[in-house]
Amino acid sequence: HEHDPTVASCSTKFETPLDLDLMQNWIQLMLGKYGANLFRYKGVLNVEGAPMKYVFQGVGMIYTGNFKGKWGPDEKRESRFVFIGKNLDKKGLIDGFLKCKIDAELRFKVGDKVLASGDEGWVPGTISSCWDDGMPYTIKVAGPGESEFMMCPFDVDEFCKAPASDKDWVFTPHPFDA
């Protein structure tokens, strides 16, 4: 029985929490690039703001991942994964995974006034929580008759920005809607 030198594995682990949206987007890009050469992959992830472990696994292009089981009180919250496949770019896989780490403080705090990107334009809102369900922000916005909540998937101006002043904290349509 001969070993195929093109078949290898790569793995890593780290304690810094992950941004779930960045990780899921990266997984999709990775599957598009390496899916045909991936024999098996799996991992347990420490997602920022989530009390449960995110467990994923896959074979080739078939991927599944869900929150399963809470972290134990004495358990080290770390992310770890392993990929097994043919002709894998080990450095590229590990670097891509590491780019999903939360490495900066959020721009806004609970109670800050923001403008959130809604379906029809910029909507005034207030940050009600940070890192719930793996999202940087939950934003309370004024809806018809009562308050509604929006999730902000990324901490970038395209999704959530500071109003220039209190007078700018009003609904404004997106430029492409005008």
If asked whether residues 130 and 77 sit together in one domain, one would say: no
If asked whether residues 83 and 118 sit together in one domain, one would say: no
In a domain, 119, yes or no: yes
Pick from 41, 67, 98: which residue ends a domain? 98
Residue 139 one-letter amino acid: I
If residue 136 lies in a helix (H) or strand (E), which one and from where to where?
Answer: strand 135-142
Pick from 46, 69, 98: which residue ends a domain? 98
Residue pair 170/38 in contact by the 8 Å Cβ criterion:
no
Looking at residue 148, its pLDDT comes to: 87
How many domains are contained in the chain? 2
93-111 pLDDT, tens digit each: 888 888 888 876 889 999 9
Residue pair 122/175 in contact by the 8 Å Cβ criterion:
no
In a domain, 94, yes or no: yes
* Domain carrying residue 59: 7-98
Paired strand residues for 12: 81
In a domain, 43, yes or no: yes
* Range scoring the smallest mean pLDDT among 4-8, 46-50, 130-134: 130-134
What's the rounded Cα separation, in Å, for the pair 19 and 17? 7
Question: Is residue 108 classed as helix, strand or coil in its secondary structure?
Answer: coil
Residue 159 one-letter amino acid: F
In a domain, 107, yes or no: no
pTM score of the predicted model: 0.65
Pick from 39, 65, 98: which residue ends a domain? 98
